Amino acid sequence: NAGVTQTPKFQVLKTGQSMTLQCAQDMNHEYMSWYRQDPGMGLRLIHYSVGAGITDQGEVPNGYNVSRSTTEDFPLRLLSAAPSQTSVYFCASRLLPGQGNSPLHFGNGTRLTVT
Amino acid sequence: DAKTTQPTSMDCAEGRAANLPCNHSTISGNEYVYWYRQIHSQGPQYIIHGLKNNETNEMASLIITEDRKSSTLILPHATLRDTAVYYCIVNNNDMRFGAGTRLTVKP
């Protein structure tokens, strides 16, 4: 199993550009989530999903859109990038609490810079 | 807001036990306590989890109080490579990490 795969690893955007951060997992996990981590800070939850067709907001959802059309994929979209979105983005997945007490599995992160 | 509170930072001497506390006073009866750590800017690494019994694995031990309102992660013989930020989170659909505890293991 590849686990959680994030692409790209690095990205530079200009203010106002749009892009999609990709996240895929091959562990058949229903739960997937996106976090951002600013320098010297902890992880903050952006959006999460408990299954295909279901998404919900986390702590810092503004400026980000998500969709979950399949169990495997959970892309994060920035519609109009802003310098404040410069951060490292982590995707994670796990079984739902009712399916077993599995830990979160994290991807290696996408380092995004918005100029 | 995260459902847990942790000290901002702690130091530990190499070879000694590191005891990292976490308060989770609003934990629900069916929620697990999970511990992760993050070294530099890598993705967080799972350490251990528990419900109400103490747990031990090859990395650490987890002690949960009887009322489940707090827990302690124990690294029995800390090494320099254990220097990291340690996060305690409670298991629910909205898994929020908080700021964690920055553990520095000193020679």
Mean pLDDT across A90-95: 93
Q: And the tokens for B14?
A: 């190499």
3-class secondary-structure state, position B80: helix
- Nearest chain B CA: its distance from A84 CA (Å): 19
Mean pLDDT across A11-23: 97
CA-angle at B8, arms to B2 and A4, nearest 5°? 55
Mean pLDDT across A82-105: 87
- Nearest chain A CA: its distance from B30 CA (Å): 9
Cross-chain CB nearest to B94 (options A41, A58, A90): A58
Q: Residue B37 burial by CB count (10 A; 0-12/13-18/19+): exposed, middle or buried?
A: buried
Residue with tokens 């955007």: A13
Between positions 62 and 91 of A, the ones with CB within 8 A of B are: 88, 90
Share of chain B above pLDDT 70, in %: 95
Interface residues of B toward A, Cβ cutoff 8 Å, are 30, 32, 34, 36, 38, 41-46, 49, 51, 85, 87, 91-100
What does the pLDDT read at residue A97?
A: 67
Q: Report the DSSP beta bridge partners of residue A36.
A: A44, A89
Mean pLDDT across B67-79: 96
Cross-chain CB nearest to A88 (options B41, B49, B94): B41
Flag whether pLDDT at B104 surpasses 70.
Answer: yes
**How many whole angstroms separate alpha carbon A105 and alpha carbon A110?**
15
Q: Report the DSSP beta bridge partners of residue B106.
A: B13
The alpha carbon of B14 is separated from its chain's Cα centroid by a whole number of angstroms, namely 18
Interface contacts (A, B; CB < 8 Å) = 64
What does the pLDDT read at residue B18?
A: 98
Flag whether pLDDT at B79 surpasses 60.
Answer: yes
Flag whether pLDDT at B93 surpasses 70.
Answer: no
**How many whole angstroms separate alpha carbon A110 and alpha carbon A88?**
6
**How many whole angstroms separate alpha carbon A44 and alpha carbon A58?**
8
Confidence of residue B37 (pLDDT cuts 50, 70, 90): very high
Confidence of residue A100 (pLDDT cuts 50, 70, 90): low
**How many whole angstroms separate alpha carbon B72 and alpha carbon B7?**
12
Confidence of residue B39 (pLDDT cuts 50, 70, 90): very high
What are the angstrom distances between the C-alpha of B92 and each of A102, B27, B31, B100? 12, 10, 7, 18
